[in-house]
Structure 1
Amino acid sequence: MDKAAEIHAALERSFDAQFLEVIDESAAHHGHAGAPEGGQSHFRVRIRASALTPMSRLGRHRAIHAAIGPELIGRIHALAIDVDA
């Protein structure tokens, strides 16, 4: 399973999302520091989930990072998060 699919699956398990999209933006960062040869290093999560609505921006980011888990977070270089609350 590629990392985008792993991220998507982890977020699906944790949130009853009305909308969830995981975009691999690694190609836009090819050649930059922290961008490995095989890609799969830079991701954007776009999510709408009622559980995230009452949280602060920092709380939302913490919840998403916790849902993805430290093992997977440790295998990527960058994660942009767009929450549609």
Structure 2
Amino acid sequence: MQDDYGNAVRYPGTGDIAALAERVERVEETTKRIEENTSDLIEVLAAAKGAFKTLEVLGKIARPIVWIGTVGSFVVYAWARFKSGIGDLFN
């Protein structure tokens, strides 16, 4: 059988075992090389995942703090208006 360029095509299992073993070895080497090249990227992504979890926790903590600050600001504003003799808070 031939490919589109006229080269003989041999399917695995139809040739000798040594050629197949050599091909498997090359594939394993390529896989190891790809794994080594991408290990740094995987570490960066894992660190980013941890950073986003930290930001999520900080966001959950910040919501009540902002709410308390808003209420506190209004109380200080209302007290200042009351002490200055102006009874209507929103004028």
Does TM-score exceed 0.5, indicating one fold? no
Structure number with greater CO (CA < 8 Å, separation at least 6) is: 1
Compare the two structures and name the one with the higher helix fraction: 2
Greater strand share, structure number: 1
Q: Tell me the TM-score normalized by structure 2.
A: 0.20
TM-score after normalising by structure 1: 0.21
Which of the pair has more CA radius of gyration?
Answer: 2
